[in-house]
Structure 1
């Protein structure tokens, strides 16, 4: 039996930062917070409660499990053909615009005909994860109330967000807890709905769909979700846990950037060094090489001006080439030029690149190692 033939079982309800570079500064300050938030607790489900394993949940929803998107799409199309004609299939999706507005939408099919379609706005206080969960819950509610539900044994909820899919009939301590609880409560009532005598009680089934794979139902749900995000909610909705976490993180980052722009040493400002990214790649360099680069950035190191400033009587102020040591002497050193090719480009661009970006710092460290610049050419103390 292939992946596309799987019929998942129903699960019962029951920073040292300043060395970093690059990044675009935010163009606006974060908007003020509305403190009205959804209730969220990490102890909603006690740790001694028997939980479904992630592996079991992934199998239950038909997760990709190493398949390519094309393979998963083909398997899903085959799987659709195995669903009884009278079962209802709901495709749900969530969307978030560049403006931050979110929305959800769903479409429903039965006997190869569309019987449901709806879109709704959620405003700026949600994330796509929340919108996906809201759309699945709304789709389930609409399908259960539809007159033709009495002819359907099972109700299939199909969505392309794997994390939402595995939590719809399981427990979660993440965002949109109340929505997932409502979904499970609605799912419990499906077998008790009014139905025709020959119709089985059935259950709610969850199925993952590969997104943007030309699956008509999923594409229709995606379009409905975008329409929802473009609408304006009638009132401000509470912040979700995921959205509040994202906003707080962004707010802290912008505050740090603002402070850094005023407090950064002039040398760092000249190189346009910011606090982003948090873990720049140059931090992985060997400490001796990283130390040389940080010294050149800060101008605090084995440099003539630095030694004279602090009256270091025993310091050697010149390179072996006879030139005074400086943070960017490696660019001009005649011995180094003969030993290894000079960095190409204009100095006004080369120096900020080498000292002001993670990629440039890594290249510079490799050049230092290749030329043995600080060991042989411009050592702290000349050979005896």
Structure 2
């Protein structure tokens, strides 16, 4: 109904309130401008947005992966985005290097394996980086290993199961510092070797790919040495940190709000599990559940308050005011339906946790249609 409190809807559906969302977008914009050296601190209140973020989330002050757009035309390596069988050019053997990245709850890691060049590398990257960055670092480590071995005049095929990294390297524009570094490393070894980067399907039974995958997992399970982040922070991590901060602000605001009495009783804390269930409902079902939880529906007490009916009494028992909580928890006239669909609930949070039963209960009563 039009009277339903916006704050209650935001809490139920986990929608960031507009003031917090505006701050979130402004903060992300300030981070981007600072990374690109376009941010100018001045004596106006809104420029304190970065100082506030860094004070609350210190990791956001670390170096970021974003760089000004670079154009790349001089690629001394080739990229194959489809699987091909091994090929040899003339009588010169093709050397193969397999790379992989891994991300677990412990962190991210990279693995590089090659029987032809005697390479067996695993490296932990810390906890803040993405799987995309791990896959990219695998190719960088492979290029560095080629350079250390001073390979020259060789046909070298680097195989990775990351289509995203290969597509990024295949573009002529780059705004990722890590991708740009990868391009420079490949160009350096590509001046004296024939370098081909090829996509390979992951977990396809390839011995080399499986070995690289095992090394990458060993890297992700190992503790990173040195201060983090080891690799510049990806934009996705920063976005998640700022979004998490906005969610925390929303939760604090909901905890302190002194209105939405029934909604607060039914949903004492913002619960994303409840939100996921609500978003799986169709429009009619969602309307019923929101009306029941907030009390803003076709209940006589609410209709009386808005001037639609002339009595707030319960139409079933006529013994008390007809509120959502009275109908759901106490009304003796609908006890049979309550037991059938809801069991014997004692509190509104129990009802919020039983959305299917709530729909069945009001569906049989037909009051909120």
Please give the range of the TM-score, normalised by the shorter of the 2 chains.
0.5 to 0.7
Deviation, structure 1 residue 133: 0.8
- The CA distance in 2 between the partners of 1:263 and 1:172, in whole Å, is 48
- The CA distance in 2 between the partners of 1:268 and 1:319, in whole Å, is 23
Change (3 A) 1:315 1:266: closer
- The CA distance in 2 between the partners of 1:218 and 1:150, in whole Å, is 24
- The CA distance in 2 between the partners of 1:262 and 1:336, in whole Å, is 34
Change (3 A) 1:115 1:348: farther
User: Which residue does 1:138 correspond to in 2?
Assistant: 141
User: Which residue does 1:299 correspond to in 2?
Assistant: 295
- The CA distance in 2 between the partners of 1:107 and 1:135, in whole Å, is 10
- TM-score, with length taken from structure 1: 0.64
Runs (4+) off by over 6 Å: 307-313, 337-341
Deviation, structure 1 residue 326: 2.8
The 5 Å alignment of 1:52-63 reads 60-62=80-82
Change (3 A) 1:167 1:269: same
- The CA distance in 2 between the partners of 1:298 and 1:340, in whole Å, is 19
- The CA distance in 2 between the partners of 1:40 and 1:312, in whole Å, is 58
Deviation, structure 1 residue 163: 1.6
Change (3 A) 1:344 1:282: closer
Change (3 A) 1:171 1:192: closer
- The CA distance in 2 between the partners of 1:317 and 1:244, in whole Å, is 53
User: Which residue does 1:271 correspond to in 2?
Assistant: 266
Cα contact 1:87–1:151 (8 A) shared by 2: no
Deviation, structure 1 residue 115: 0.9
Cα contact 1:61–1:207 (8 A) shared by 2: yes
Count of residues in correspondence between the two structures: 308
User: Which residue does 2:341 correspond to in 1?
Assistant: 343
- The CA distance in 1 between the partners of 2:346 and 2:141, in whole Å, is 58
- The CA distance in 1 between the partners of 2:168 and 2:338, in whole Å, is 58
User: Which residue does 2:162 correspond to in 1?
Assistant: 161
User: Which residue does 2:209 correspond to in 1?
Assistant: 218
Deviation, structure 1 residue 205: 2.2
- The CA distance in 2 between the partners of 1:367 and 1:157, in whole Å, is 61
- TM-score, with length taken from structure 2: 0.66
- The CA distance in 1 between the partners of 2:169 and 2:271, in whole Å, is 38
1:96 aligns with 2:103: yes
User: Which residue does 1:117 correspond to in 2?
Assistant: 120
Once the two structures are overlaid, the 10-residue window that deviates more, 180-189 or 30-39, is 30-39
Structure 2 unmatched runs, 5+: 1-6, 15-54, 74-78
Deviation per residue, 1:335-378 (Å, 9 max, x gap): 756789821544148x5354x24xx4355335534542346xxx
Three-state SS of the structure 2 residue aligned to 1:274 is coil
- The CA distance in 2 between the partners of 1:172 and 1:254, in whole Å, is 36
Cα contact 2:143–2:185 (8 A) shared by 1: yes
The 5 Å alignment of 1:136-215 reads 136-147=139-150, 149-150=151-152, 152-153=154-155, 155-171=156-172, 177-193=176-192, 202-211=194-203, 213-215=204-206
Cα contact 1:285–1:362 (8 A) shared by 2: no
User: Which residue does 1:282 correspond to in 2?
Assistant: 278
Once the two structures are overlaid, the 10-residue window that deviates more, 115-124 or 234-243, is 234-243
